[in-house]
Structure 1
Amino acid sequence: MNLRPDPTFHASPKLAMQAPVENYAFTVMLSPDGSESDGIAVVDLNQKSDTYGEIVHTVIVPNKGDEFHHFGWNACSSSLSPLTGHAFLERRYLIVPGIRSSRIYVIDAKEPLEAKIHKIIEPEEIFEKTGYSRPHTIHCGPEGIYVSTLGGGGPDGTDGPPGIFIMDCESFEVIGRYEMDRGPQDKHYDFWWNLPQDYMVSSEWGLPPQFENGIVPEDLLSNKYGHSIHFWNLRGRKNIQTIDLGENHQMALEIRPAHDPTKSYGFCGVVVDTTNLQGAIFTWWRDDDGKWQAKKTITIDPRPEKAENLPPLLQGFEAVPPLVTDIDLSLDDKYLYVACWGQGEMHQYDVSDPMNPVLTGKVEVGGIAKGAAHPNGKPFAYGPQMVEISRDGKRVYWTNSLYSTWDDQFYPDDEGGQMVMARVGENGGLELDPDFYVDFPKGYRSHQIRLEGGDCSTDSFCYPSV
């Protein structure tokens, strides 16, 4: 334990933006067929280093078939909350779930080049103490580690609804379920919160039979994937309101609240509108009467394409949907980045007015029936997927794999894992850096990124920026 708060904990978003720049990224390495063990790659981000843009260390786990996906820190700036009893924790451990195995690895990353496994939590402990399976998103709260799940109990994860469970942030013991009253929530995906305002927002993807073996076209076309967002009393652990975005808005995924804790709004990305194949972003906010509202504020149209150029799944539509699979918000709450995994595009929107976003930048790399190369001439498999923004907002990193079985459906002829970076202009705009291109070892794909010292989808801030 430190004798003072970890220097990577920041009271406000503005203070985090002024912190030293990142030197390393931690990035998922996944073996799509389970023939190799998954791992975490440490990527050198120091532009003055001889190994800049290279994988300089890996942590390969002893089991196979985990399918690493999302992961997060044991502690972050939320530890500075007045409610915390853990202000002197270190941002030291990465909590890495296996979305297929329901196993969780705790990796000690205090020394990035010597990162190693600290503890393994076997799935039986999670099943016994929570009744949940398929752990997914990790968020560090003031009093513990929150883990969202995509499955309930039983072999196929449909014995009861999925939800959130809490782990002790020092011993990493599984404590138990979060929910006291879940209301109508019966599917799960992402979640995040505003600590001072004491609310949480969660979203929905689908149940394990709807995603583990690939997308189920019949379920998608009959609007059976998730399409609601749920609002919670964070400390009371109770659902206080649910908003249905419309059953045609299939797969309401990433939740991105404003970083400034005085603000009561945020964004949610929707993968596809089944009436027109558009991708969409909804802005959600709390009105003057204390009720939550949501409005579609961004739409992205599909691109026409000849059937013979498309994977079988899309040939009947003769179009490439954007497939909005990730979004991220800069720490100053100014720019929202939207990954259009199907079309091979990364969009940048000025959301200074969250009800009227303005497209300010776009780059193309990868994409169905397009396969745009990186500026260095090398290939980029699939399309832009998991996106992470540097704390100062000047660099945007992303990888390319969505989920192994979905990769194979939408990009049957692609293979590989890449990580790239785009630089942000003084007044917005994006430009891919030709000198930053990470090609993962053969047989591995790449997914979520975490930056040393925190990033824009990690920390919750307790105090307003000045």
Structure 2
Amino acid sequence: MAFRPDPTFHATAQLAMQAPVENYGFTVMLSPDGAQPDALAVVDLNPDSDRYGTIVNTLAMPYTGDEFHHFGWNACSSSLSPMSGHAFLERRYLIVPGIRSSRIYVIDVKDPLDAKIHKIIEPEEVFEKTGYSRPHTVHCGPEGIYVSTLGGGGADGTDGPPGVFIMDCETFEILGRYEMDRGKQDKHYDFWWNLPQNYMVSSEWGLPPQFENGIVAEDLLANRYGHSIHFWDLRRRKNIQTIDFGENYQMALEIRPAHDPKKSYGFCGVVVDTTNLQGAVFTWWRGDDGTWQSKKTITIDPRPEAADNLPPLLQGFEAVPPLVTDIDLSLDDKYLYVACWGLGEMQQYDVSDPMNPALTGRVELGGIARGTPHPGGGAFAFGPQMVEISRDGKRVYWTNSLYSSWDNQFYPGQEGGQMVMARVGDNGGLTLDPDFYVDFPKGYRAHQVRLEGGDCSTDSFCYPNV
């Protein structure tokens, strides 16, 4: 019997773009009040299917109060790395953490229509083996599964800084903390890496008391949320440099490195500039002297609005901030998608020149004081939030919930979970598909999306494009 790597593992981003298109999407559903268990929804993405754009399977969890948020695969294209001892893994399991409970579910989706819970890791094991809590981002590495956290130890998650821990990608046992030397890093959010160049980048949101019960206005106005990114020697597990964007650039969230590992640059989205309510995207890169540098390359202005049309949190500003809550980069490193959750816009930028992004497309949907409906006629709660791009770059999917307590502050009284898709023009541009509209069951909201066979925020590639 000949062993072969999983066919969804691709040596280069270029090859991944040529792979078969996705037939299914996986979306986490969260119960904002904890009245129902959170769940995994499987959505039919095959346009030739008579169930296209509908939920074809739902797997509910056995507990309530998890608050599903981000999740990821057990294995991906990084398994083709020469450093890997696991070349024959399958992209079979989804690792789904509960951001409130610190519980982790391992879900077998080998047959998407018959998804099963394979293993449950209880929060006590996470606390005992890592000293961390509130697991957040999941990335598959060559030798294991990396999980970032938003909390340290103790009941409120402030007993020590949060960090990253590693799980065995076959047994799903927690192995322990990643960091040998964290340097200045004392908050966490996202992270990603370039395997051949041996670096990792991480970002910052805030500590649990700053986000679990909603945004803390006093902390925001005092610039106490995260505003730095950290560069690491990936193998030595050592923080080698920290870049502070400036304390007014509050909440440096998603990290998106270029997919081609020959390139030494990437992007980071910033939720809000407290001096003017603008949203921002920074480009970061490695200079000729080997040190890392950054520059703000995208600025998005707030929209003036009458105070009576705004939630209490924003009435004193008489404006709607963009609230850049997610960004995603196409596999060809050409288009960066920026979710402006407050404005109710998904923006597309040509970043072929990463230092000079150019706005090439925009879709309006939802939004504070606007509530733009879907072109198919359905309502869209909140605004565009978690965004995922198909491997070939032709379809962009997104959902609408940020975090339950934040949803309630910025969009009081609104409810609903939706997932939509926009098509990308041959020369850029973005158009919502009026026939693709997923309305999740009542009482649920929707967060991150993963695509069958991988997507643009899942895989890290081991070899350069030709």
Deviations 1:40-63 (A, max 9, x none): 100000000000000000110000
2:448 counterpart letter in structure 1: Q
Q: Equivalent residue for 1:238?
A: 238
1:101 counterpart letter in structure 2: S
Aligned-pair distance for 1:96? 0.1
SS at match of 1:354: coil
2:334 corresponds to 1:325 = no
State the alpha-carbon separation in 2 of the partners of residues 440 and 110 from structure 1: 23
Deviations 1:375-394 (A, max 9, x none): 01211000000000000000
Deviations 1:346-381 (A, max 9, x none): 000000000000000000000000000000121100
SS at match of 1:313: helix
Matches within 5 A, 1:53-452: 53-452=53-452
State the alpha-carbon separation in 2 of the partners of residues 377 and 440 from structure 1: 15
Deviations 1:313-346 (A, max 9, x none): 0000000000000000000000000000000000
Deviations 1:242-269 (A, max 9, x none): 0000000000000000000000000000
1:3 counterpart letter in structure 2: F
State the alpha-carbon separation in 2 of the partners of residues 297 and 336 from structure 1: 12
State the alpha-carbon separation in 2 of the partners of residues 208 and 195 from structure 1: 30
Q: Equivalent residue for 1:45?
A: 45
State the alpha-carbon separation in 2 of the partners of residues 138 and 299 from structure 1: 29
Give the TM-score taking structure 2 as reference length.
1.00
SS at match of 1:63: strand
Aligned-pair distance for 1:413? 2.2
State the alpha-carbon separation in 2 of the partners of residues 65 and 212 from structure 1: 12
State the alpha-carbon separation in 2 of the partners of residues 2 and 442 from structure 1: 48
State the alpha-carbon separation in 2 of the partners of residues 227 and 320 from structure 1: 21
CA contact (8 A) 1:391 1:456 kept: yes
Q: Equivalent residue for 1:16?
A: 16
Aligned-pair distance for 1:190? 0.1
1:353 counterpart letter in structure 2: D
State the alpha-carbon separation in 2 of the partners of residues 352 and 288 from structure 1: 20
SS at match of 1:447: strand
Aligned-pair distance for 1:2? 8.3
State the alpha-carbon separation in 1 of the partners of residues 268 and 381 from structure 2: 25
Q: Equivalent residue for 1:4?
A: 4
* 44 and 246 in structure 1: CA distance in 2 versus 1, 3 angstrom threshold: same
Deviations 1:74-114 (A, max 9, x none): 00000000000001000000000000000000000000000
State the alpha-carbon separation in 2 of the partners of residues 464 and 230 from structure 1: 24
State the alpha-carbon separation in 2 of the partners of residues 449 and 373 from structure 1: 21
State the alpha-carbon separation in 1 of the partners of residues 456 and 376 from structure 2: 27
2:459 counterpart letter in structure 1: D
SS at match of 1:409: helix
Q: Equivalent residue for 1:462?
A: 462
SS at match of 1:16: helix
1:13 counterpart letter in structure 2: A
2:464 counterpart letter in structure 1: P
Return 5+ residue gaps in structure 1 as ranges.
none
1:252 counterpart letter in structure 2: A
Aligned-pair distance for 1:446? 0.1
SS at match of 2:28: strand
* 252 and 2 in structure 1: CA distance in 2 versus 1, 3 angstrom threshold: farther
State the alpha-carbon separation in 1 of the partners of residues 211 and 303 from structure 2: 25
SS at match of 1:370: coil
* 247 and 411 in structure 1: CA distance in 2 versus 1, 3 angstrom threshold: same
State the alpha-carbon separation in 2 of the partners of residues 413 and 320 from structure 1: 17
Q: Equivalent residue for 1:32?
A: 32
Return 5+ residue gaps in structure 2 as ranges.
none
State the alpha-carbon separation in 2 of the partners of residues 302 and 3 from structure 1: 54
CA contact (8 A) 1:27 1:43 kept: yes
CA contact (8 A) 1:303 1:320 kept: yes
Deviations 1:399-430 (A, max 9, x none): 00000000000000210000000000000000
State the alpha-carbon separation in 1 of the partners of residues 195 and 158 from structure 2: 31
SS at match of 1:325: strand
1:23 counterpart letter in structure 2: N
SS at match of 1:427: coil
1:425 counterpart letter in structure 2: G
2:102 counterpart letter in structure 1: S
1:87 counterpart letter in structure 2: A
Give the TM-score taking structure 1 as reference length.
1.00
State the alpha-carbon separation in 2 of the partners of residues 289 and 376 from structure 1: 52
CA contact (8 A) 1:261 1:461 kept: yes
SS at match of 1:38: strand
State the alpha-carbon separation in 2 of the partners of residues 117 and 321 from structure 1: 40
Aligned-pair distance for 1:146? 0.1
1:444 counterpart letter in structure 2: Y
CA contact (8 A) 1:363 1:431 kept: yes
CA contact (8 A) 1:2 1:89 kept: no
State the alpha-carbon separation in 2 of the partners of residues 297 and 238 from structure 1: 28
2:47 counterpart letter in structure 1: Q
SS at match of 1:61: strand
2:29 counterpart letter in structure 1: M
Q: Give me the identity figure in percent.
A: 85
